[in-house]
Amino acid sequence: MNMQGLLALLISAAMSCGAMADTTSVPADVDAALIGSATQTMEVEDAAAAPDTADSAGTADTSDAADTQSAGDALDAADTSDVLDTAGAADASDAADTSDALDTAGAADAPDTAAAVAAPSATGLDEAATGVSEARGYSRLFTDNPVPDVAQRCLGSVVGVINLVSSFDFDSREVTDEEYGYGSGVVIDNEGHIVTNAHVVQGADKLRILLDDDTELDAELVGLDSDTDLAVLYVEGLELEPVEIGDSSALRVGDLLIAIGNPGGYYGTVSVGVVSALERDIETFARPMDIIQTDAAMSPGISGGALLNADGELVGIPTLGVMLYEGLNFAIPSNTMREVVDELITYGKVRKPGMGIYYQVQDGPDEPLRSCLPAGLLVVEVGLDTPAEAAGMRVGDVIYEINGTRIKSARELTLATQDCEAGDVISVRVYRHSYQERPVDENFIDMDVTLEYIE
């Protein structure tokens, strides 16, 4: 073959290759179908992230199938003809449609499943919460708060008590009444009786009560008992709703308490606390009582007010707060108050069976010495026609024991005789000092004393 023939053959071959390349090129519409298929595949894979594991797996598998089918169809189209390309595009479109359908189904299932997981039964949660709260005893306090209702019902039954002292003004030549102290009081019946603390009214020349509308009314002292720090006032024509008196022995540690009074002169102040302890023995009181301890705020001025339970019943009279320790406050139980108030209203005082003597606390050694009296109660006066006089007690005797119990203070004397009734006989040992030269043990004298109510 000559050079010209070879050159013609090469040119012919090149032209044939160019025509084949044009024939096998992928049309623009096929490229668009393949791109759409890939996009749908990505959407399916994104949907696979939904919480429904089964739907996710199914979607992923279908997406893979769509990918494989579309890619296979595209390759077949590239290797064959435009007819096959069109078929491949249709298959890819079908796969995309299938992918869309699965994507939609998976997406529909996923939120339902997620909602089921994320939102448990509200009823079940409520029941569980209620069970826990009732078990802890807080359900009433936090779901049915009784404090507002109790306050609204009882605020009008608590009054202010003003202690007035009269003084003579030399400039004006007039007698003026000055406020010496103030406290609180609580209405206990429809007859005009008000209970307060004895220390609120002691030393007063005049007494007044303050109502919620700033009205002041004159009050009369019916009687007081320093041993229990209780007093009763009377106001004529008083038309205030009395509180209901509850049973303080039914209180339990942790019970809700509501205190109402006038601390600092701020009328109708309400504070809330719990029963911190019961049956506290506070030596401040001459008479031993089962004092209520509470953390309900009791600032000066609330003394004599109302301490109420969750039902709005009076269960205590606020009386004492330890300023050094926050939340350490005390109240006289309502059961004790009821006994004392009945005595004060009936007799003007609390009748106590006694021996008919006046005494003072004698400090000294526990046992007598020749030159020193023992610790005890030194008799400074013996009343005429009294049980002590009948038993032979004298001024200068030191009460040493009662019924075998050592006595060194007035409180111990009260403890030894608090359960006694008029007519009961007690055994009293006194120490009577003698200047005679004899053993000190011989100076003890035993005597029986029959207790009586002393006027």
Q: Looking at the annotation, which residues are catalytic?
A: 199, 229, 303
Q: Which two tokens stand for residue 240?
A: 């205030």
Q: Fill in the amino acid letter for 86.
A: T
Half-sphere exposure of 403 (CA within 13 A, CB side): 13
Any alpha helices (H) in 137-226, and if so which ranges?
A: 139-143, 147-154, 198-201
Token pair 């200068």 in the structure block, residue = 396
DSSP character at residue 223: E
Q: Is 19 helix (H, G, I), strand (E, B) or coil?
A: helix
What number of other Cβ atoms are within 10 A of residue 131's Cβ? 11
Q: Which two tokens stand for residue 42?
A: 């990505």
- Alpha-carbon distance of 342 to 232, in angstroms, equals 10
- Alpha-carbon distance of 405 to 360, in angstroms, equals 18
- Beta strand 398-402 with 425-431 is antiparallel
- Alpha-carbon distance of 258 to 365, in angstroms, equals 47
- Alpha-carbon distance of 397 to 389, in angstroms, equals 12
